Structure 1
Amino acid sequence: PTMAHSLSPKCTPLKHKYDACFNAWFEGYLERAVSSATAPSEERQASSRRKAGEYEASCWKIWTSYWEYVQVPLLSFGSGR
């Protein structure tokens, strides 16, 4: 599948990197959610915390880099420049 481009073409490679990371993480999240659907609440909560930690370890830095990078085009777009 083709990923969407960023607001600014210069930001697109970093957006694609984040999208790929998030999609891989989310696929694992969904698989775990389905497989633990009948597990006790405590196990599901622990599983969710682990997945949140995995996201932070693998995707959060990419997201913050992309977000910082895209702020310049967003601010100039909002100001009408």
Structure 2
Amino acid sequence: MEDGALEWLLANSDCASTSIKRHIELALCHLAQNKDNWRDFMSSGAVKRIQRISVESSREDIRSLAKKTLNLFPRHQTDL
């Protein structure tokens, strides 16, 4: 990932704008699905943010995507 991109997404993930918040939640979920990003997600604490999204997102489809994304991590942690 580009330097600072994940940190920016995490810092802005609690934006007051509902539309922006949804887009950031989707971006985090999609980026987390890429195995090349897993180390960054685990070291930055972004996995915890995905866990929050899976419970707290205002949209069911985003909560579902976050849950599917989280299922990728436990199986492959030894690959890192």
TM bucket normalised to smaller: 0.3 to 0.5
Higher RCO (Cα < 8 Å, 6 or more apart):
1
TM-score (norm 2): 0.32
Q: Which structure has the larger Rg over C-alpha atoms?
A: 1
TM-score (norm 1): 0.32
